[in-house]
Structure 1
């Protein structure tokens, strides 16, 4: 998902002061708090545990985290990881005959015999690479009539790629300049982690050093230098480097690492059993939001209390491939997952049909899919974000929830500035701003994104299926959508990602189907009535 908005203001020293300081965190666990009692627009999870679930029995539910990797040894995740009891760890054999040897905690569809993919291209890059070979000798003058539509699509994609690559290179140059200037100032100060007072006492010898001083004095009023440097400078530098060198580079193709035929959508048995992979930051954070151990008095508490997390690695640092997404869904379904969280999405699709078929398969097996809406602040009713359900049957859509991200305050800022929306494509909103959760090394970190909102809802779905196991996936979705806290006021957002973009104010009900924020307390109350009806039949 596109993070460029986070770093947009880092393109030059002159505008860095406009950057919001990400480390200015909300209270940990705010997503589980209650609006009325805590004055924070969480989903009332803690209230539900105290008033509705105390003393009640539940059954363990498997929730698959189809993502970039999960650290199974994390202190807050190791007790709640799914363990394939039919498999003997480390013997190199497929003991349960499911086609995947040693899949103890799940499977990695972007790994090979020796290593795993970390960086990948965007789908846009892959499509341009494919078609530039096909149309190498084609011009507007000689294009065949039968190829005109494809040729026009290729030209539009190539223009999009060139634009994004130019922006990435500009971004890298800008943040590199700021980073170099800041590093020079820090060297003069003589401390690895200067304090606010150190920057106030610094005597600049140039205009650039003066601007650096002013920016850091402003930023360190809100947090530490180490946090600012890690969350803004290093992350921004790494982001633009990945974009320029990997994501948007038509000459880069790491798929040989896997050893499969990436153009064969029917191929299913490839990959390895390393569910963490080379970068488990994103997936571990998602897993913790869903079900981090609520009993160990460490770190954080996930939404759901009786969950087994299955790690299904199918998304790299770049765009996921449709083949891997489809196989990841089928693997999760076939190995017992009742909820699948998919915190990913992309603007282009290579083979939408293969993903659609996997979605239909999940629905036929009574598995609920929860998907992040995306972080580009766009209306996905009008602009594509894949996967989507624009051409799927009602049964499949009934087992699939798309989630936008909300903030902690019940005011015009409730819609997260980055969150995609859509009156027909997004079902609900959930907390996705400054969510504190698990990251590799048994550590914790605040992250923003619909990637964080989606697992809040996946955790809630797992919680409902755990305490009311007879409810179907479609019923669970219906309960979650019907029980939202309705938002009866307008929210503001910018139309576009430029600093001078027009700000508009719209009813929250224009942003999603339900018109509200998910609420665990109300959902569990409603689930009890569904459960009573099911038991009476």
Structure 2
């Protein structure tokens, strides 16, 4: 899984002293009072002037007189905080399983799988948290065979594998260099910002540097006043409530880079061997793992779950896109790259336990057991299950640099029950496409909001995350609404309606990773941004 350090951190080096250079303020004019102000992606492009998916307008105008049926949505991810107030009522519950009795009551091979299953767990209750990248694992496997050898010294039949070794060796070196630089930069920024924050707290005699405090303070010292005004603008523009949260995010980003260097990019690191003890290459093995769907770090999956279906009936927190879902947690994505075996088994588990839609906010660029994953996708296709997959966060054209699971089978046939999703930002300007988002005229189907998306976090908290990981559950939520209100729709129907109803824009946008402006419509096969209002209208016209 590609984790994305928040783009809101950009511009916060010496934040107290320097003008802000980050993203636009996360305040939405014209928002409905029932939508938390941070959830801009629920709003309507025409009415609210932000590039949302018109969810609130859809409920107000199109769905208020219709009835819905529950839809099971599986979330293959790092885990979900099942105790979160905005999620717990909506959790999928296996009615055939008696919780906590240590028995496989429904005889499906998974003991006490009450809310889902964890394919990253050991029988003793331990869990894999941080994992290696796939190219790191390939490097460990191939290095003893090819290191120090020239291509001409390798037998002809093995030269393709030799070339693969050179490729993963290069990508590994690039990632190590990138994360070393990032760690050093974040560490220095963190040190300077922390020192500046403490100096400002002392000068102002306040315990915290939050926006409410900064907004009311007007010190007489002109230098101090400039610092207060600059920081207040900085925080409000980036959607942070206080500088202490900025420091927390900086520390998390710093720790993430350090973890990548110590573990995910370390060929000798292999937690699976001692925790799960299986053969990760044996894709026929399906009965392993444990019942812990929370896992060591459910931040990512909890955020995804809230986007799809956070409780719309309570008066707390946020609103999910869909209003009648059952969220099934399937833990198969570590902090690092997921294993093909786990992905295949997670898809099969979700299908066998009644999921109509599966959200897959993960991806990687090497897939050693690709055939096993594709067999599971074909199984989902036969059972009528829609898969929604994030396009990736590397600013790459995935038509030429394929991300897995690929939207195309090894046979060359396009997968009819999969939607691949890129990420957009708030405004219809040249930065509408999120700078990190992958794209592709063939392999990305559609775009959805994925920048500064406000959703649930573990421990009854809420916050912003950015990534195509956030765009994918927006589309999953739309699919869940369609299936809920039009239950006869098949997986292919849902895909067709979502793609046909996407609103095409010809805005000149910055191609991710470049300063080049291109037509937004050229970055995906539809050229469009998903829209729930248009999708429901189309479904209503086409469904008896």
Q: TM-score, normalised by structure 1?
A: 0.89
More moved, 320-329 vs 128-137: 128-137
Q: For the Cα contact (< 8 Å) 1:128–1:154, is it kept in 2? A: yes
Q: Write the distance in 2 (CA, Å) between the matches of 1:13 and 1:353.
A: 49
More moved, 151-160 vs 301-310: 151-160
Aligned partner of 2:429 in structure 1 is 411
Shift of 1:32: 1.4
Shift of 1:28: 2.2
| Secondary structure, counterpart of 1:436 in structure 2 | strand
Q: For the Cα contact (< 8 Å) 1:165–1:248, is it kept in 2? A: yes
Query: Please, which runs of 5 or more residues in structure 1 have no aligned partner?
Result: 205-211, 497-501, 533-537
Q: Cα–Cα, structure 1 residues 263 and 235, in superposed 2: closer, same or farther, change >3 Å?
A: same
More moved, 132-141 vs 172-181: 132-141
Shift of 1:17: 7.1
Shift of 1:83: 0.3
User: Is 1:434 the counterpart of 2:452 in the alignment?
Assistant: yes
Residues 85-124 of structure 1, C-alpha deviations (whole Å, 9 max, x = no match): 0000001111001110100000010111231111111111
Q: Write the distance in 2 (CA, Å) between the matches of 1:118 and 1:522.
A: 40
Shift of 1:349: 1.7
User: Is 1:531 the counterpart of 2:533 in the alignment?
Assistant: no
User: Is 1:381 the counterpart of 2:399 in the alignment?
Assistant: yes
Q: Cα–Cα, structure 1 residues 394 and 460, in superposed 2: closer, same or farther, change >3 Å?
A: farther
| Secondary structure, counterpart of 1:303 in structure 2 | coil
Number of equivalenced pairs: 518
Superposed, 1:263-302 pairs within 5 Å as: 263-302=281-320
User: Is 1:145 the counterpart of 2:156 in the alignment?
Assistant: yes
Q: Write the distance in 1 (CA, Å) between the matches of 2:193 and 2:220.
A: 14
Q: For the Cα contact (< 8 Å) 1:7–1:236, is it kept in 2? A: no
| Secondary structure, counterpart of 1:63 in structure 2 | strand
User: Is 1:513 the counterpart of 2:525 in the alignment?
Assistant: yes
Q: For the Cα contact (< 8 Å) 2:194–2:247, is it kept in 1? A: no
Q: For the Cα contact (< 8 Å) 2:4–2:467, is it kept in 1? A: no
Residues 381-430 of structure 1, C-alpha deviations (whole Å, 9 max, x = no match): 11121111233568862211001111221222221111111111011111
Q: For the Cα contact (< 8 Å) 1:30–1:408, is it kept in 2? A: yes
Residues 59-82 of structure 1, C-alpha deviations (whole Å, 9 max, x = no match): 111000011111111000000000
1:33 to 18, 27, 43: 43
Q: For the Cα contact (< 8 Å) 1:11–1:170, is it kept in 2? A: no
Q: Cα–Cα, structure 1 residues 394 and 302, in superposed 2: closer, same or farther, change >3 Å?
A: farther
Superposed, 1:129-140 pairs within 5 Å as: 129-135=140-146, 138-140=149-151
User: Is 1:3 the counterpart of 2:20 in the alignment?
Assistant: no
User: Is 1:484 the counterpart of 2:502 in the alignment?
Assistant: yes
User: Is 1:425 the counterpart of 2:425 in the alignment?
Assistant: no
1:20 to 19, 22, 39: 22
Superposed, 1:153-192 pairs within 5 Å as: 153-187=164-198, 190=202
| Secondary structure, counterpart of 1:276 in structure 2 | coil
Aligned partner of 2:134 in structure 1 is 123
Residues 164-195 of structure 1, C-alpha deviations (whole Å, 9 max, x = no match): 11221222223223323444444556576446
| Secondary structure, counterpart of 2:516 in structure 1 | strand
Q: Write the distance in 2 (CA, Å) between the matches of 1:164 and 1:9.
A: 20
Q: For the Cα contact (< 8 Å) 1:5–1:418, is it kept in 2? A: no
Q: For the Cα contact (< 8 Å) 2:398–2:439, is it kept in 1? A: yes
Q: Write the distance in 2 (CA, Å) between the matches of 1:234 and 1:45.
A: 35
Q: Cα–Cα, structure 1 residues 374 and 25, in superposed 2: closer, same or farther, change >3 Å?
A: farther
Q: For the Cα contact (< 8 Å) 1:21–1:228, is it kept in 2? A: no
More moved, 408-417 vs 367-376: 408-417
Q: Write the distance in 1 (CA, Å) between the matches of 2:220 and 2:270.
A: 47
Q: Cα–Cα, structure 1 residues 92 and 36, in superposed 2: closer, same or farther, change >3 Å?
A: same
1:522 to 511, 517, 534: 534
Aligned partner of 1:503 in structure 2 is 515
Q: Write the distance in 2 (CA, Å) between the matches of 1:505 and 1:257.
A: 48
Shift of 1:473: 0.5
Aligned partner of 2:91 in structure 1 is 81
Q: Write the distance in 2 (CA, Å) between the matches of 1:54 and 1:306.
A: 13
Aligned partner of 2:350 in structure 1 is 332
Superposed CA RMSD in Å reads 2.8
Q: Cα–Cα, structure 1 residues 9 and 144, in superposed 2: closer, same or farther, change >3 Å?
A: farther
Q: For the Cα contact (< 8 Å) 2:8–2:22, is it kept in 1? A: no
More moved, 517-526 vs 320-329: 517-526
Q: Write the distance in 2 (CA, Å) between the matches of 1:180 and 1:293.
A: 39
| Secondary structure, counterpart of 2:62 in structure 1 | helix
Aligned partner of 1:207 in structure 2 is none
Superposed, 1:306-317 pairs within 5 Å as: 306-317=324-335
More moved, 362-371 vs 40-49: 40-49
User: Is 1:71 the counterpart of 2:81 in the alignment?
Assistant: yes
Q: Write the distance in 2 (CA, Å) between the matches of 1:443 and 1:254.
A: 29
Q: Cα–Cα, structure 1 residues 7 and 354, in superposed 2: closer, same or farther, change >3 Å?
A: farther
| Secondary structure, counterpart of 1:397 in structure 2 | coil
Q: Write the distance in 2 (CA, Å) between the matches of 1:514 and 1:459.
A: 19
Aligned partner of 1:251 in structure 2 is 268
Q: Cα–Cα, structure 1 residues 28 and 6, in superposed 2: closer, same or farther, change >3 Å?
A: closer
| Secondary structure, counterpart of 1:266 in structure 2 | coil
Q: Write the distance in 2 (CA, Å) between the matches of 1:263 and 1:328.
A: 15
Superposed, 1:438-477 pairs within 5 Å as: 438-477=456-495
Aligned partner of 1:535 in structure 2 is none
Q: For the Cα contact (< 8 Å) 1:491–1:505, is it kept in 2? A: yes
Q: For the Cα contact (< 8 Å) 2:6–2:465, is it kept in 1? A: no
| Secondary structure, counterpart of 1:455 in structure 2 | helix
